[in-house]
Amino acid sequence: MSAMKEHVSTRRRLPVNPRGLALLALSFKALGIIYSDIGTSPLYVLNGIWPAAGEVPPAEDVVGGISAIIWALTFLPLLKYVFFTLRFGTHEGEGGTFALFQGLFPPQDKDFDADRTLTGDSHKQNPNDSAKLSPKLRWPLLIWALFGTSLTLADGVFTPAVSVTSAVAGIGVAKPSITQNVAPISIAILIVLFLVQFRGTNFISFIFAPVTFIWMALLACTGIMNIIAHPAIFRAFDPSRAILLFVRTGNYDLLAGILLAVTGCEAIFANLGQFNAGSIQLSFACLVYPSLVLAYLGQGARLIRDGESVLPNIFYNTIPGPVNGGLYWVMFVFATLATVIASQAMITATFSLTQQLVNMRSLPPIRMTYTSKTIQGQVYVPIVNYVVLILTIVVVVAFKDPARLTNAYGFAVATVMFATTVLISLQIKYVKGLSIFFALAFLVFFGFIDGLFWGAALKKIPEGAWVPLMIGGILLIIMAFWTWARSLEDDFDGNNRRNLRHIIVRRDVDNALEVAISPRDNEDNGSLNSEKKSKYYVMEEDYTPHHGGNGEVESETSEIGLKVLARIPSCAVFHKLSTGPGVPHSFVSFFRQWPALPRVVIFLSVRVLPIAYVDPEERYIVNKVRTIEGFYGVTYHIGFRDTFDVDVDAIIRQVADIEARNDPRTAANIIREIKEVSVSSTHIVPHYVVTSKPIQGGKLAFMGNIIRRFFIEDIYRTISTMFPETANWSGSPDRIIHVGINATI
C-alpha cells in the first residue's frame, strides 16, 4: 500500500478556511446567497408593525419601534448568530439545528480498516459512547433538533413567497391597475428561480452577489437621505425607547412585526456549510448590518415627518424623489431582484439541511448533485427543489393577503431561533467544556429574547401561522420515523456480520479441516491443482463449529452441519452497507441459497472523501484474506463529485500485485487464473425485507404489535424499496443481484 494511499484513506472532511483575497471573494459570494432574506425585510417590516389600513403612529412610537428593530438586529443576527452560533458548526463545517444535535451526540468515526478485516468478530459499539450527555436525552433532543430543522425547511417555502410578493407589490404603488396581477407575476418569477437551481450555488452566487451588493448600497444611501428629514430618529439607538414603547402602548403584538426584521437568522447558520464562518462574519458586520440600520432609521424618519402619505406602503413611499421617478424604478428593479435572491438563501439552506439529514440517515437516500469542486456542502437536490416550488406556489395562491403571509412566516422563524438557543446552551457546557454559568447566562439572555418573539408569533397561529406549523409537524413525523426505522435496520445489519472462518471451511483429502489455504500446497502445478485437492463447505445455519484453544476450528471427520460448495470460475463483489469487521449477512444468505463459491470474492466498502475527485490510482485499498484463498477486502474511495462506478479491473490489478509479492514462484498461475475469471463480475447487494419484531407481554402488546407492524412492514418497507441504496450507482443493472434477506427489526 503506497504512502499516498494511506494519506488519502485518512482524510476527513474539514471546514473551508480561506485566507486573504480568497476570504474576501467568498465573503462577496455570501452576499448572493445568505443575506437577501434579512436584507429584503425593509420591504415589509414597518407595515408589519403598523398596517397600511391602521392609524399613523405617534412619533415616540415610531422611535420606539425603530429602536426595537435596531436592537433586535444587534442581539440576534449580529451577536447571537454571526459572532457566536457560527462557532458551533460540525467538524465538517455544517450548520443548522441538526448540526447542533450532531455536536451533542456525534456520529462515530468509521474504522475503514476494520471493513477489510473479514475474519474478525463484529463488535458493535454503542452509538452514544462518544456523547457527553446521558443517552436517555438522545431521543428528546433529537426530536427537538428535528423540529427546528423541519420548521427551517418550512421556512424555505414561505421565504420565497413573502419576499417576492412583497417586492412585486411595489408595482401597485406606481401602477394601481396592476395590483390584481401581483400573484401571477410572483409565481412566474418563482418558477424561473427554481428552474435555475441546478446550476449550483457557485454559479448563482456569482450572478446574485453584485445585485445584493448594489441593493445594500441603495438601502444605505436612501436611508441616509431620509434621515435628513428627521435627524432626531437617532434617539432610536437608546434601548430604553424600545422598552418604553411596550410600557406605553401595552401592545405585545408589535413584537410579531419586529420579528420580521430578523427573518433570515436561521439561513445565516444553516448556510454555514455553503461558505464558512469568517466570510459570513466579514460580509454581515461590514456591509449588511450597517445598511439595514440606516434603512430602518430612514424609513422611521420619513414616517414621522410624512405620516399618512407614506403609511400605505412605507418602503416604496419613502424612496427619495417622486413616484415614477428614476430612483423609484431603480429601487423597484433591485428590490425585485433582491427578493429573488432572498428566496435563494432559504433554498440553498434547504439543500444543505437535506444533505445533513440524508447523511445522518434521517431521510431516505435522495439523489443529490454536488455543484462545487472545492466545497462539499454546495449541493443541489432535485426532488426537494421541485417540492418546495410546488408548495411555494400553493402558498402564494392561498395567502392572497400579504399580512397573512407574514404572520405565517414569523412563527417558523421564532421557533427555530428558540430551538437553536436551547441546543447551543447544552453545547457550551457539554461540547465546548465551558462553565455551566456561561451556558445558563446564554440560555436566559437569548432564551428570554427568543421567548418574547415566539410568544408574539404564537398568537398568530389562527391568522396563518398554523400552516408552517403543520408543514413542520409533517416533516418532523417523517424524519423521526425514518431515523427510528433505519436505526433498527442498521442495528440488524451490524449485529449479523459474521466471521468468515465461521462460515466457509475447507476439507483436504486427508479429512482435516483447515482455516487457511496456501498456494504452496502444490507449487509445481499452481493454484488450479491445489484447488482440486480440497473441498469447500458453507456451515449450516444451525451448525456450531468446535474451536480449539487458539480459537481456530478443530479437525472434524463428519460432514454434519456442512453443505458442500463447488468452486466456480467467476468473480463476485459483495457490497457492505455498514462499517465494521466481518462479512455481511448477504454473503451468508447467498451461499445458503446458491451453494457455489466463486474463485474470486471481493468484499467492498465505500468511503466518500472530502475532495471532489479521487485519482484513479488512489481509489482502492486491497487486503488479502489469509484464511481462505481468493477472498479480498477492499475499501473504495470516491470524491463527493465522483460517479459511483466500481472498476473491478483496477481492483484485480492490485490483487495481482499482492499475489506477486506473496509468493513470486507460483504467482504467475494464480494471477492468470484470477484475471480469467474476473472478466465478468457480478455485484451482490443485500435487500432487507423487514418484518416487525413482536412486542412481548403487557395488556397493550396486541395493539402495539398491530401499530408497529403497520409502520415497519407497510410504510418503511415500501419507502425503502422506492429509494434503494443502488439508485445512484453507475454500471449495468443486469450485473447486480439483490439478495433478499428477512430482517426482523
Return the half-sphere exposure (C-beta side, CA atoms, 13 A cut-off) of residue 671: 18
The pLDDT, as a whole number, for residue 124 is 46
| pLDDT tens digits along 55-80 | 999 999 999 999 999 999 999 999 99
- Facing residues of 504 across strands? 538
d(CA 504, CA 582): 12
DSSP code for 733: G
Of 17-31, 288-302, 308-322, 511-525, the range with the lowest mean pLDDT is 511-525
Q: Is the pTM of this model over 0.85?
A: no
Q: Where are the domains of the chain?
A: 24-103+157-409, 496-744
278 or 247: which carries more pLDDT confidence?
Answer: 247
What is the pLDDT at residue 127? 46
- The 10 Å Cβ neighbour count of residue 27 is 22
Which tens digit of pLDDT belongs to each residue from 355-370?
A: 778 877 888 888 877 7
Highest mean pLDDT out of 341-350, 375-384, 576-585: 576-585
Residue 512 pLDDT: 44
SS (H, E, C) 490-523: HHHHHHCCECHHHCEEEEECCCCEECCCCHHHHC
Q: What is the mean pLDDT of the chain?
A: 80
CB 408 within 8 A of CB 399: yes
pLDDT at 314: 93
The pLDDT value given to residue 515: 41
CATH 1.20.1740.10 for domain 24-103+157-409: yes
Cβ-contact 174, 325 below 8 angstroms: no
Could you tell me which residues come within 8 angstroms of residue 250 by beta carbon, excluding any fewer than 6 positions away?
none
* Grid coordinates given for 576: 457492505
> On the CB side of 338, how many CA atoms lie within 13 Å of its CA?
27
Q: Is pLDDT at 222 greater than 70 in this prediction?
A: yes
pLDDT grade, residue 126 (50/70/90)?
very low
Q: How confident is the model at residue 721 (pLDDT cuts 50, 70, 90)?
A: confident
As a whole number, mean pLDDT of residues 319-342 equals 84
- Check pLDDT > 60 for residue 4: no
What average pLDDT does this structure show over 34-53? 85
- Does the structure show a pLDDT above 90 at 538? no
Contact (Cβ atoms closer than 8 angstroms) between residue 382 and residue 199 = no
Please name the helix (run of DSSP H) or strand (run of DSSP E) that holds residue 607, with its range, or none. strand 596-609
Inter-helix orientation angle 138-168/382-398, to 10°: 60
**Segment 440-459, tens digit of pLDDT:** 999 999 999 999 998 888 88
If you write DSSP's letter for every residue of 310-378 in order, what string do you get? Answer: TGGGHHHHTSSS-TTSHHHHHHHHHHHHHHHHHHHHHHHHHHHHHHHHHHTTSS-----EE--SS-TT-
Q: What is the per-residue pLDDT for 39?
A: 87
pLDDT tens profile 627-649:
778 899 999 988 765 667 788 99
pLDDT at residue 415 in the model: 86
The residue ranking higher by pLDDT, 194 or 371, is: 194
> Which tens digits make up the pLDDT trace of 602-628?
999 888 776 657 888 888 999 888 777
More confident: 635 or 721: 635
Residues 6+ apart with CB under 8 A from 296: 42, 45, 46, 66, 69, 70, 223, 261
Under the banding of pLDDT at 50, 70 and 90, the label for residue 50 is: very high
Q: Which triple of cell numbers denotes residue 553?
A: 476450528
**What pLDDT does 361 receive?**
80
**Could you tell me the three cell numbers for 520?**
504452496
